[in-house]
Amino acid sequence: MRKLFFIIGIMASVAGCSFGASAEVYSLDSCRQMALTSNKEMMVKAEKVRQAQYTRKEAFAAYLPAFDFTGGYFYNQKNLSIFDSDQHLPIGTFDPLTQSYKYAPAINPITQKPIVLPDGTPVPAQTALIPKEAMEFDIHNVFFGAVTLTQPIFMGGKIVALNKLAKIGEEAAMELQRNEAQNVIYAVDAAYWTVVSLKAKQELATSFVNLLDTLDRNVRLMVDQGVATRSDLLSVDVKLNEAKVDLLKVENGLSLSRMALAQICGLPVHADIHVEDEGTRQVDTQAEIATHYDMEQIYANRPDLNALELATKAAGAQKQVALSSMLPNIALIGAYSFSTPNMFDGFKNKVAGAFSVGVVARVPLWHWGGNYNKYKAAATNETIMRLQLDDAKEKIDLQVSQAAYKAQEAVKTYLATESNLEKARENMRTATLGFREGVVTTDDVMAAQTAWLKANSENIDAMIDVQLCDVYLAKVLGTLGN
């Protein structure tokens, strides 16, 4: 039996050397790095961080003066005319005695009386002619433009709140990126240790098939010698076929798990990927798992909770934005306006302009409670976010306790399976010796081998569970990947 295990060990070593020469072997850290580099969701989170940075810069620009240019052109069908016809203006003479102008009326040569209009207005004796064309202005082609400067002075605290909101958004995007990194690392570790588990179970299933194959040959010899029955041989054959089917399932599962790990790491799905811990059958059980934790430190380490806390602060900033709609807004305005034609110095068809400076104030007076209700809605949203934050902290308290308990339970289970495995090995050795001596039946040997297989399988599962529980505990504590 020892020779059989020795031969199996040599075959496994040779097989390991054969795939190691052609396949790439990856460590857990290298798998993590490849996954973080190639993961599409991580790329999305990185772009969202970049987007939040641009938003923060945009919000800061609101503190600075804004310069704008406005220009235009109009074509008008008609010219502009002040008079509808020629105009006659009366001519007066200055009287020094009365210090005023006197207008001489026209005299009727017959009656020698002033000529008056039907409404009683006297007709002047002399008039100055103003032709209609003299007061007509060419406005067919009008060009205009203005360069304006707007400097906010007081906007009700809106600009300050928007800058605070943009900074919170940037920090939240970074925390969500860190949270996604932990999710990716956790997925990589799960896929990595699944490969390790199935590789160990493949080797175990291969060893079990070899054991049954050896038992099958021995029983055939015993049947030929008449010391065993045909029924014993059939029982071994059935068990051997079942073992081969199980081996095939494990090999298929191992291939699929390698594909899953390759996909997570950003490698081609059919890449021949192998991991560094294949063949590992021991875990560190010496490290103590704490029973009490500094929850405030855990809260600070958890990126998802930090993102929720930042969302609560963002709700407070939104409340300030809503409050600003009820406060006065004051801004400094400066402009240089120009046009052609212009009337700065008479009507001229050339470009001319002038500067203007002023202050604009907007004071909300009455909006039927719209702005006030907007503020109250924002305040209610802030209260909701605070309640959700408190609820998340309570759930994290429970989550940490459960994760620590599962990690402790996983270590105890692994130690128990180690003890069971030693007993199963001794039981199989004793059964094998008894079978050689003829005092143990074939069924007893197969039962001992099956118990050995089960003990090994449980030991592998417990070993992987210890690794995964440690990873989950690190994720819950917010230290995964740090």
Q: What is the pLDDT of residues 307-327, one digit of tens each?
A: 999 999 999 999 999 999 999
Calculate helix-pair angle for 158-225, 230-265, nearest 10 degrees. Answer: 160
CB 389 within 8 A of CB 431: no
Residue 5: what pLDDT? Answer: 33
The DSSP code sequence of 37-72 is: HH-HHHHHHHHHHHHHHHHHHHHHHTTS-EEEEEEE
Q: What is the 3-state secondary structure (H, E, C) of 209-272?
A: HHHHHHHHHHHHHHHHHCCCCHHHHHHHHHHHHHHHHHHHHHHHHHHHHHHHHHHHHCCCCCCC
Interval 448-469 mean pLDDT: 94
d(CA 19, CA 28): 19
State the Cα angle at 122 between 116 and 123, rounded to 5°: 85
The predicted structure's pLDDT at residue 228: 80
- DSSP letters, 300-336, are HH-HHHHHHHHHHHHHHHHHHHHHHTTS-EEEEEEEE
Task: Please work out, in degrees rounded to the nearest 5, the angle formed at the alpha carbon of residue 235 by the alpha carbons of 234 and 241.
Answer: 85
Q: Is 293 helix (H, G, I), strand (E, B) or coil?
A: coil
Q: Are strands 80-81 and 136-137 parallel, antiparallel or unpaired?
A: antiparallel
**pLDDT value for 227:** 79
On the question of pLDDT at 80 being above 70, the answer is yes
Percent of the chain with pLDDT over 70: 94
Dist CA 186 CA 481 (whole Å): 9
Q: Is residue 461 very low, low, confident or very high in pLDDT (cuts 50, 70, 90)? A: very high
Can you tell me whether residue 457 is helix, strand or coil?
helix
Q: Of 85 and 411, which is predicted with more confidence?
A: 411
Buried-exposed string 313-325: b where 16+ CB fall within 10 A, e elsewhere: bbbbbbbbbbbbb
With cut-offs at 50, 70 and 90, classify the pLDDT of residue 7. Answer: very low
Burial of 110 (0-12, 13-18, 19+ CB in 10 A): exposed
Please tell me whether the overall predicted TM-score, pTM, comes out greater than 0.85 for this model: no
Q: Which residues pair with 154 in a beta bridge?
A: 330
| Residues contacting 50, CB < 8 A, separation 6+ | none
pLDDT for the residue 134: 76
103 has a pLDDT exceeding 50: yes
For residue range 123-146, list pLDDT tens digits in order: 777 777 888 777 788 888 999 999
Q: What is the dotted CATH code of the domain comprising 2-38+156-327+367-477? A: 1.20.1600.10
- Collapse the DSSP code of 350 into the 3-class scheme (helix H, G, I; strand E, B; otherwise coil) and give the result: coil
Residues 6+ apart with CB under 8 A from 298: 396, 400, 476, 477, 478
pLDDT, greater one: 10 or 193 = 193
Q: Which of 301, 352, 357, 360 is nearest to 329 (CA)?
A: 360
State residue 90's pLDDT score.
Answer: 80
Say which range, 114-123, 172-181, 220-229, has the weakest mean pLDDT.
Answer: 114-123
Q: What is the pLDDT of residues 50-72, one digit of tens each?
A: 999 999 999 999 999 999 999 99
**Res. 183 pLDDT band, cuts 50 70 90:** very high
Q: Which of 71-85, 135-149, 182-196, 275-289 has the weakest average pLDDT?
A: 275-289
Backbone phi and psi for residue 25, each to the nearest 5 degrees, phi listed first: -105, 125
- In whole angstroms, give the CA distance from residue 304 to residue 186: 15
Pick the range with the lowest mean pLDDT from 161-170, 337-346, 445-454: 337-346
Name the helix (H) or strand (E) containing 9. helix 2-22
Alpha-carbon distance values, 436 to 209, 254, 337, 432, 475 (Å): 19, 36, 112, 6, 52
More confident site: 126 or 191: 191
Cβ neighbors of 163 (< 8 A, separation 6 or more) are 56, 59, 60, 62, 63
pLDDT at 100 over 60: yes
For 78, the token pair is 């008609």
Position 285 scores a pLDDT of 67
Quick check: 453 pLDDT over 60? yes
215 token code pair:
């038992």
Lowest mean pLDDT among 143-147, 377-381, 438-442: 438-442
Contact (CB, 8 A) for 351 and 338: yes
Between CA 207 and CA 210 the distance in angstroms is 5
Say if CB 384 and CB 453 are below 8 A apart.
no
Please give the pLDDT value at position 287. Answer: 62
Q: Residue 6 pLDDT > 50, yes or no? A: no
187 pLDDT above the threshold of 50:
yes
Does the pLDDT value for residue 364 go beyond 50?
yes
Give the tens place of pLDDT for each residue, 32-55: 999 999 999 999 999 999 999 999
SS3 assignment, position 473: helix
- The answer to whether the CB of 49 falls within 8 A of the CB of 175 is no
Three-state SS sequence of 382-438? HHHHHHHHHHHHHHHHHHHHHHHHHHHHHHHHHHHHHHHHHHHHHHHHHHHHHHHHC
CB atoms within 10 A of CB 312: 19
Q: Distance between CA atoms of 68 and 313, rounded to whole angstroms? A: 34
* Mean pLDDT, the chain, whole residue set: 88
Distance from C-alpha of 135 to C-alpha of 89, rounded to nearest angstrom: 14
Residues of the chain with CATH 1.20.1600.10: 2-38+156-327+367-477
DSSP reduced 3-state for 147: strand
Query: In what side-by-side order are the strands of the sheet with 352-362?
Result: 66-75, 141-154, 329-340, 352-362
Task: Report pLDDT digits (tens) over 229-284.
Answer: 888 889 999 999 999 999 999 999 999 999 999 999 999 998 888 999 987 777 77
Up-side HSE of residue 421: CA atoms within 13 Å toward CB?
18
